[in-house]
Chains A and B, each alone.
Chain A
Amino acid sequence: MRWAAVLLAALTPGAAAGQAVLVGPELALANYREVASGLRYNGTGFGGSASVRRGKLSAEAAIARLTFDPASGSGATAGFKATQVDAWVAYDVAAYASVEVGVLHRSVTPEFDATSVGAVRVGVRSFSEIGPGATMVFRANYLAAPKFSSGGRAAVSLDLGIGLDVRLLGRLHGTAVYAFERMNRKVNPGGTGEIDAPIQQTRARVGLALAF
Chain B
Amino acid sequence: MSPRLHHLVALALLGARIAPATGAAQTAPNATLRSAQLAYDNLEYRQALSLARGALRERLTGAERARAYELLGFTYGAMDSILKAVDAFKEVVLIDPERQLDPNRVSPKAYSAFAVALGQVLLVRQLHVDSVSFVGGQGAVPVRFTVTQPARVTTRAIGTPGTFVIDSGAWNGQVNLRWPARLPTGDPVPPGTYTLVVDARLGQNTFSASQPIRLTLGRVDTLPAITSLPGYQFLPQTEITPQSWRPVGLAFLYTGGALVGTLGLESSSLGSSSKRELGIVGGAALVTGFAMMLRKPGVRPAAANILYNQLLREQIARRNQDIAKENVTRRREVQVTVTPLPKGTPGAVR
Q: Is the CB of A204 within 8 A of B295?
A: no
Specify the chain B residue showing the minimal Cβ separation from A137.
B254
Q: Tell me whether A202 and B277 are in contact in the complex, defined as CB-CB below 8 angstroms, given that A37-B271, A158-B265 are known contacts.
A: yes
Given contacts A161-B258, A198-B267, contact A134 B292 (CB under 8 A): yes
Chain B residues with a Cβ closer than 8 Å to the other chain, count: 35
CB < 8 Å A-B pair total: 119
Contact between A176 and B261 (Cβ–Cβ < 8 Å)? no
Contact A130 B277 (CB under 8 A): no
From A4-12, A27-35, A75-83, A145-153, give the one contacting chain B. A27-35
Chain B residues 124-142 with CB under 8 Å of chain A are: none
Chain B residues, CB < 8 A from A84: none
Which one of A34, A131, A161, A202 contacts B273 once the chains associate, using CB atoms below 8 Å? A202
A196 interface contact, C-beta 8 A: yes
Interface residues on chain A, number (Cβ under 8 Å): 40
Q: Quick one: which of A128-142 are within 8 Å of B by CB?
A: 128, 130-132, 134, 136-138, 140
Residues of A contacting B: mostly: strand
Asked if A182 meets B265 with Cβ closer than 8 Å, knowing A36-B270, A202-B274, A204-B280, the reply is yes
Contacts of B281 in A (CB 8 A): 162-164, 176-178, 204, 206
Is the Cβ of A162 less than 8 Å from the Cβ of B270? no
Closest-by-CB residue of B relative to A203 is B277
**What is the chain B residue whose CB lies nearest that of A204?**
B277
- Given that A31-B273, A176-B285, A200-B270 are contacting pairs, would A162 and B280 also be in contact in the complex, using a CB cutoff of 8 Å? no
| A58 close to B (CB within 8 Å) | no
Query: Given contacts A178-B278, A206-B284, are A131 and B247 in contact (CB under 8 A)?
Result: yes
Listed from nearest, the 3 A-B pairs whose CB atoms lie closest are A131-B292, A37-B271, A31-B274
Interface CB pairs A-B, < 8 A, 29: A29-B277, A30-B277, A31-B273, A31-B274, A33-B273, A37-B271, A130-B250, A131-B247, A131-B291, A131-B295, A134-B292, A160-B265, A162-B258, A162-B281, A164-B281, A164-B285, A164-B288, A178-B278, A182-B266, A184-B267, A200-B270, A202-B273, A202-B274, A202-B276, A203-B277, A204-B277, A204-B278, A206-B280, A206-B281
